[in-house]
Structure 1
Amino acid sequence: MMAVTIKGSYTVSPMETTWCGRMPLTEWDQTGTVTHVPTIYFYHPPQNRTYSTIVSTLKNSLSRVLVPFYPLAGRLHSIPNGRLELHCNATGVPFVVAESSSPLQHLADDFSVSRLSSEHHPLVPTVDYTLLIHEVPLLLIQLTRFACGGVSIGMTISHAVVDGPSAAHFMYEWARLARGEPLQTSPFHDRRVLRAREPPSAPLTDCHVHKEFHHPPLLLGKNDNAEERKKKTTMAVLKLSKTQVETLKRRANENGSCYNYSRYESVAAHIWRSACMARGHKHVQPTQLIVTVDTRCRMKPALPKGYFGNATLDIAAFGLAGDLVTKSLGYVCGIIRGAIEKVDDEYIRSEIEFLKNQEDLRRIHQNETFYGNPNLAVVSWLTLPMFGMDFGWGKEVLMVPATHDFDGDFMLLPGPHGDGSLLVALGLQLAHVDAFKKHFYLDIE
């Protein structure tokens, strides 16, 4: 494991007095497990800046950006029925300063096409989940200097408070303030625009609409996935060149398709069928692909610009492994497109009401068949403004998710050189990784 030495640990609070009080969370904030999502930004050695100046710049700008983004300085508290609420209390954000004897170039040069490993975990602050929930920070930051003078910024942020677009919004504005520029888009904090009606409407009975939260497919002949969860998983990153991406998209839209399937749909469909082959599924094996849909512009009216919270919805596409493997790529894309297109305002409101009527959301928190064999999820960061974060010394060399080891958890990232290539960060059972790589590339050629 990489040697990292902690040189200092601070608590950064909002620079000015901010609103304090209890902020109710929406049903969507409540449905994920109380975990943090870690990312790492790698930078070449900053020119004409000492390390102490970098530390000071980041701490000062973080204190300033926590004024408009004040919920991130607060803490979660448990309330009855497996639910949470956010206490905005300006408790602050841990900021860790560290050094590593490892050279940055060793990490950045081959990181995009090599296996991810635990050696990078020390570059992100550790979240102590043994603490009581109201003691766990929502945001933690670590700045690490490497032997060559390069630096990394490791961030881990609570998924119970924000989704990907909101996390990207925070990082973008923090970088602007660090460069001495003004805030561009203020966060919108009134989450009542996504809350269920008060009082809630009658419980929904149309269970097939929300089957994502009921009984995801299991392996044939199994009553649960406990055995699958015990199997070792690993992480890897695969690269698709621009030509390979274009090949998949062309294949998805061949035979006069009028649907114009997107880059995401084409690659996700290819991943789904490759996973079925790698896992050795039988023809009649049911399988589920989770697609994350941003609802901000799908609601009527659209959510206010800068809405800060969870506004993405997990939608399930269902198929039989045999059909996914033997039929055209366009057929698989059609299943994915059908799942996405059902997400309109009526569906979104229905989903919120469904969750509001659950007596205890811990049942959903503990639904561990959501991913995992025979199911998977393909999350896209292709259009998120998570890249090009310039804090005053240039854009990052590379941005990557720090950990990605859930079985069946896939993430699409743009290639690091802006050349139209893609990175597929994946978590799979160790026994299936080599077979997945084989089918993934062989089927493109």
Structure 2
Amino acid sequence: MAASQLALISKKIIKPSSPTPLIHRIQKLSIFDQLNPCSYMSYGLFFPKQCHPTLPDDPTHISTILENSLSRALTSYYPLAGTIRDEGLHVECNDVGAKFLQVKIDCPMSQIFDQKSTEAEDLVLPRDLPWTPSKENLVVAQVNHFNCGGIAIGVCVSHKVVDGSSMANFTHHWSTMARNPSAPIPSFQFVGGSHFPPVSSPIAEAILQSKTRGNNTCISKKYLLSRSKINSLKAMIAAESGNKSSSITPSSVEAASAFVYKCIASNSTKPSIFTQSVNLRPIMKKWLPEEFQGNASFLFMAPEISDPADIKLHRLISELRKEKEMYWETTNLMSTLLEKVKLLQNQLERDHDDEVDVYKCTSLSKFIFGQMDYGWGSPTRVCLGSVPINKKIFLTDSQTEDGIEVVVSLKQQQMSALETKSNLLEFASPL
């Protein structure tokens, strides 16, 4: 796929339908916001015409629907219409708005599907923005009109303000406004900074660097773990765990993520550490209101493994579960977070010094990206595009198959070894 197949039709700034109240003008960010980079997270939603016959034929009509509903959605998610200030510690909710692009792609949507690569999917995302610093506008949306009549909606959202869960909620809210223009505008609360204030900058710096270091030096590939293969993995892990007292039944995400990590790490002679980004919202219900939005995820870290041959999937999953239990049991979450941040900082600095490989896994499984109905049905396909962050593993639910899709980002040499020197392809199929 070539960028020359894309032609810009229009570019607009979409402001919130109602001005943000002065009481919300300055939004203090939390420790969770602080530990996430200003980079744009991205996703693409595909709506083929043959699968969505009620999709309007007129591109102008489609864009009008999306622009008006985005304006109403930004009223509730007012920090996303603002500007990051004070080196990432505050958002000025000044209603500068979101950037909205309308483009024409001179090919049928099937041509992207046939390419079966993250690079082809990148075409529907705002150009050169995913995983780069978000500066002018914290939301950039692009509606892509294919010559077959289908559309794809590509969106970039600043990770400094929201995580995957809030990004999914924002998109769902936007699609609800599009589907039902008379739907009431809900009121969300961005109060994380009041309950979980940021820590000193030097402690956070290593974590921030680890989430952006390696950009443009690695490649991304996508794999499918079908439901039957996942079930086989889960059975294998359960059998590996042995007697009933120590036996575990892994979830699909636990099985898939642990397996992919082991396949990658087995090709290195260095010690490795597996980290999993975990949504803390169920735990934070004790402190935060139900309407809370923003960042509320944290990296859980399994113990270091010196020899790749010693990686046991059931033990890895058990260790991560112990971490989660510790968070549930704590009575002072902020104190626990500070302790864990320092440990994480030390390990990520060792990763930077090439002493150890730290693999970072994020799961968007069970999030609601596949349910975004703008008025013509849910998307047939959801994509993340390329993720140029070395040693990164992303999991999402498959829209076309019953299973989990995994995006792996590695340097070229490690990616080649992953497919030729591990048993990855026994359970995962390239996409």
Contact 2:302 2:316 in 1 (8 A): no
Shift of 1:351: 4.5
Aligned-residue offset at 1:403: 2.4
1:29 matched residue in structure 2 = 33
Farther-moved stretch of structure 1 (66-75 vs 301-310): 301-310
Which residue is 2:291 aligned to? 306
Deviation at 1:142, TM superposition (A): 0.5
Native 8 Å contact 1:195 1:352 kept in 2: no
Q: Percent identity?
A: 21
Cα separation, 1, equivalents of 2:47 and 2:364: 20
Q: Which SS does the other structure have where 2:286 is aligned? A: coil
The structure where helix makes up a greater share of residues is 2
240-249 or 346-355: which moved more?
346-355
Which 5+ residue runs of structure 2 have no aligned equivalent? Answer: none
* 1:343 shift after superposition: 2.4
**How many residues matched?**
405
Corresponding position of 1:41: 45
The answer to whether the 8 A contact 2:260-2:424 is kept is no
1:247 is the counterpart of 2:208:
no
Equivalent residues of 1:129, 1:136 under 8 A apart: no
Q: Give the Å deviation of 1:184.
A: 8.2
The alignment status of 1:87 with 2:106, answered yes or no, reads no
Q: Which amino acid in structure 2 is aligned with residue 244 of structure 1?
A: K
Query: Judging changes above 3 Å, is the alpha-carbon distance between structure 1 residues 308 and 184 closer, same or farther for their aligned structure 2 residues?
Result: same
Unaligned 5+ segments in structure 1 are 204-209, 217-224, 358-362
Report what 2:60 is aligned to: 52
Task: Measure, in 2, the Cα distance between the counterparts of 1:309 and 1:153.
Answer: 22
User: Residues 385-421 of structure 1: CA distance to partner in whole angstroms, max 9, x if unpaired?
Assistant: 222211111111211112212111111111123x431
Q: Does 1:65 align with 2:79?
A: no
Check the 8 A contact 1:252/1:329 in 2, yes or no: yes
Contact 2:9 2:104 in 1 (8 A): yes
Matched residue, 1:148: 148
Secondary structure of the corresponding residue to residue 308 of structure 1: coil
Instruction: Tell me whether 302-311 or 238-247 shows the greater mean CA deviation.
Output: 302-311
- Change over 3 Å in CA distance of 1:8–1:231 after alignment to 2: closer
SS at match of 1:318: coil
What's the offset of the Cα at 1:329?
A: 2.5
What is the aligned counterpart of 1:396 among 376, 379, 399? 379
Do the aligned residues in 1 keep the contact of 2:98 with 2:140 (CA within 8 Å)?
A: yes
Contact 1:287–1:319, Cα closer than 8 Å, also in 2: yes
| Worse overlay, 160-169 or 368-377 | 368-377
2:101 paired residue among 96, 100, 104: 96
Distance in 2, Cα, partners of 1:320 & 1:148:
51
Q: Answer whether contact 1:29 1:310 (CA < 8 A) is retained.
A: yes
TM-score by length of 1: 0.81
Residue 144 of structure 1 aligns to a residue in which SS? strand
What is the root-mean-square deviation in Å for CA atoms of aligned residues? Answer: 3.5
CA distance in 1, matches of 2:223, 2:132: 34
Alpha carbons of structure 1 residues 184 and 238: separation in structure 2 relative to 1, 3 Å: farther
Alignment of 1:264-413 (within 5 A): 264-278=253-267, 280-281=268-269, 285-299=270-284, 301-322=286-307, 324-326=308-310, 328-344=312-328, 345-346=330-331, 348-353=333-338, 369=351, 374-413=357-396
Q: What are the Cα deviations for residues 238-283 of structure 1, in whole angstroms up to 9, with x where unaligned?
A: 11111110011111112334432222221222112111123x32xx
Mapped partners of 1:265, 1:57: distance in 2: 39
Equivalent pair of 2:14/2:70 in contact (CA under 8 Å): yes
Select the residue among 236, 242, 261 that pairs with 2:250.
261
User: Whole-Å Cα distance in 2 between the matches of residues 95 and 300 of structure 1?
Assistant: 34
In the TM superposition, what are the counterparts of 1:213-232 in structure 2 within 5 Å? 229=214, 232=217
Counterpart of 2:42, as a letter, is P
- Name the residue aligned to 2:126: 124
Map residues 66-215 of structure 1 onto 2, 5 A cutoff.
Answer: 66-78=74-86, 82-108=87-113, 110=114, 114-117=116-119, 120-121=122-123, 123-127=125-129, 136-180=136-180, 182-183=183-184, 186-196=187-197
| Counterpart code for 2:94 | N
Distance change (3 Å), C-alpha of 1:381 and 1:116: same
Contact persistence 1:68–1:187 (CA under 8 A): yes
CA distance in 1, matches of 2:290, 2:6: 40
